Amino acid sequence: MRFASLGSGSRGNALVVEAGATCLLLDCGFGPREIAFKLDRLGLSPEALSGILVTHEHSDHVAGAFKLAARHRLAVWMTHGTLMASSAGCGESPRVELIDGQQPFQVGDLEIHPFPVPHDAREPVQFVFSDGRHRLGVVTDLGSSTPHVERMLTGCDALVLECNHDAGMLQRGGYPPHLKRRIAGRFGHLDNAAAAALLAGLDTSRLQHLIAAHLSQQNNLPALARSAMAEVLGCAEQWVGVADQDTGFSWRALI
């Protein structure tokens, strides 16, 4: 199994997970042309995709999903709540497969374990992927952790974990008060310290990759996210990856 990011942050998110002959796109917050360009950088094309999974209806995750799916006849997997909240603007009608937010399902060589998360969307989920040998947990939009989130993420071989903001930078920054409250709230986004606390509660003994994701460009710095994560793991800061808004991160393999 291997995975890579096409970009991560409030201006768009997309990640690819590949196992055997199956390659899934997780979220599609970029337009079809940009996605094709970004896939090309990873040696992929839209035709190589087995389908698209969508975590929730926020535009940085769903903006290009229906267009890309319609153009390349790809299936889209999402919860009913996400479909209801995002279909109004989709215009085109690709094949949508509704998922139960707590029920694992299989797409080709990938086993997909969705789990519900506290976030200000209709029925948001995040995912753990497995090829039967390794588990990859991806959490990009999470206001606060829950015991269930921790049960899903513990013992993973790779984690992509939201480190949205530094609490101090957010409070000192220029966002309007209501936006600051939303981001910092229990249904908003994880700050570095909350992500570190979540990580500290997990079994990380199998962890081969840890990547901080969905960093705010105004309210966080890669170095702050890295040092918060490295302190928990007791590893070198450079070992912790950071997903970039424009370039994501390149292939990471689980061996």
Q: How far is the CB of 141 from Zn ion (least distance, A)?
A: 4
70, 92 Cβ separation under 8 angstroms? yes
Taking CB under 5 A as the binding criterion, the range among 77-85, 94-102, 134-142, 216-224 that sits at the site for Zn ion is 134-142
Q: How far is the CB of 203 from Zn ion (least distance, A)?
A: 27
CB nearer to Zn ion: pick between 19 and 25: 25
DSSP-based three-state secondary structure for 153: helix
Q: How far is the CB of 215 from Zn ion (least distance, A)?
A: 11
CB nearer to Zn ion: pick between 39 and 85: 85
Question: Of 60, 131, 166, 191, which one interacts with Zn ion (CB under 5 A)?
Answer: 60
Q: What is the CA radius of gyration of the chain?
A: 17
Question: Of 2, 38, 58, 135, which one interacts with Zn ion (CB under 5 A)?
Answer: 58
Report the C-alpha gap between 10 and 60 in whole angstroms. Answer: 6
Report the C-alpha gap between 147 and 254 in whole angstroms. Answer: 26
Taking CB under 5 A as the binding criterion, the range among 45-53, 57-65, 162-170, 176-184 that sits at the site for Zn ion is 57-65
CB nearer to Zn ion: pick between 60 and 191: 60
DSSP letters along 109-141, please? TEEEEEEE--SSSSS-EEEEEE-SS-EEEEE--
Taking CB under 5 A as the binding criterion, the range among 15-23, 53-61, 65-73, 96-104 that sits at the site for Zn ion is 53-61
Check binding of 27 to Zn ion (CB under 5 A): no
CB nearer to Zn ion: pick between 208 and 245: 245
For residue 132, what are its two tokens?
């039967």
CB nearer to Zn ion: pick between 22 and 164: 164
Report the C-alpha gap between 148 and 231 in whole angstroms. Answer: 24
Contacts of 73 (CB under 8 A, 6+ apart): 94, 95
- The tally of CA atoms less than 13 A away on the side-chain side of residue 138 is 27
CB nearer to Zn ion: pick between 140 and 204: 140
Residue that the structure tokens 């000192």 belong to: 172
Q: How far is the CB of 82 from Zn ion (least distance, A)?
A: 11
Check binding of 141 to Zn ion (CB under 5 A): yes
Q: Which residues bind Zn ion (CB under 5 A)?
A: 58, 60, 141
